[in-house]
Amino acid sequence: MKKIVWIIIAAFCTAAVLSYRYKHTAPEPLTPACYISCFSTEIMDQFKVEANTRSFAMLHEDPLYFKLEGAVGKPITFNAADGSQAMGYEIRSKKKSNKWVFVIQEWWGLNDYIKRESETLYQELGDVNVIALDLYDGKVAATADSAMKLIQAAKAERIENIIKGAFAHAGSDARIYTIGWCFGGMWSLQTALLAGKQAAGCVMYYGRPENNIEKLKGLNCDVIGFFGNQDRSPSPEVVNKFEADMKAAGKNLTTHKYEAGHGFANPSNPIFNKSAAEDAHAKAIAFLKERM
């Protein structure tokens, strides 16, 4: 009888421990104030901490299935800055052009939605070359859980080597324009910073902004950003800080804020906001055309 009692007690204790563990597998979301003041690390490191939280994953519904038919562009390979192979989806201008639009994927990877967006940009902007960079080296996520794993595996050094390799692929006389969403919004700004004097315009949709004013001082192009007032990553507080930082750095930033949540411009997202997405797209195209 005592043996049975001890078995029951042991089982109860084990269940209690496991229950505690499973209730605490996902880190608690960090407050907007902490993201403004608690970090001294690089933006990519900040983003990876945030992207490993369940609260961040819950901002991203699994994308609806979409297959691009009749593709205008083609997959390419080019040399990354470290000598390894990198990949992308490219649409070349029919006329010789030194204008290059770098399209940066969301955290899902270079999927057919990003390829379709690349084709839309190509059609609406005219004589431009468009290259959508594959920052996951061929991997694409279809669920939030798999996207979290890809984000955690992505190394900033590797991403920078891919971007620098794309600069070399475009050529030293290329005028670089960048655009991206979420993870890609963050890297759109980082790509513009890496482009140096070749940077000609940056479009970022709800991406985590750079918060190092000294780095922002090295930016050589104007930036336009589209954000949701209902978003928590980046939150309105973070966006306000970005506006102040850009002003302190002496750089031009135009922001447009919508009563929408994270991913409002993505048609595969259940919270897709058609009116906000269309307005943002029209403003993004006008911004780029004015600088081409």
Domain ranges of the chain: 32-290
Q: What share of the chain has pLDDT > 70, as a percent?
A: 86
Please tell me the predicted confidence (pLDDT) of residue 89: 98
Strand order of the sheet with strand 85-91?
74-79, 85-91, 129-133, 99-104, 175-181, 199-205, 223-228, 253-258
Half-sphere exposure of 53 (CA within 13 A, CB side): 14
244-271, pLDDT tens digit by residue?
999 999 999 999 999 999 889 988 877 8
Please tell me the predicted confidence (pLDDT) of residue 62: 82
pLDDT at 12 over 70: no
pLDDT averaged over every residue in the chain: 87
**Which of 14-23, 29-38, 213-222 has the lowest average pLDDT?**
14-23
Query: Using an 8 Å Cβ cutoff, are 224 and 239 in contact?
Result: no
Q: DSSP characters for 136-155? A: TTT---SSHHHHHHHHHH--
Closest alpha carbon to 229 in 220, 243, 239: 239
> Per-residue confidence at 21, pLDDT binned at 50, 70, 90?
very low
Query: Using an 8 Å Cβ cutoff, are 82 and 196 in contact?
Result: no
Greater pLDDT, 53 or 9: 53
Mean pLDDT of the region 27-49: 56
Helices (H) and strands (E) in the chain, counts: 11, 8
> Per-residue confidence at 208, pLDDT binned at 50, 70, 90?
very high
Query: Distance between CA 52 and CA 152 in Å, rounded?
Result: 7
Reading the block at residue 9, the tokens are 């007690």
CATH of the domain spanning 32-290, picked from 3.90.1150.170, 3.90.420.10, 1.20.1260.10, 3.40.50.1820: 3.40.50.1820
> Per-residue confidence at 119, pLDDT binned at 50, 70, 90?
very high
> Per-residue confidence at 53, pLDDT binned at 50, 70, 90?
confident
As a three-state string, the secondary structure of 170-220 is: HCCCCEEEEEEECHHHHHHHHHHHHHHHHEEEEEEECCCCCCCHHHHCCCC
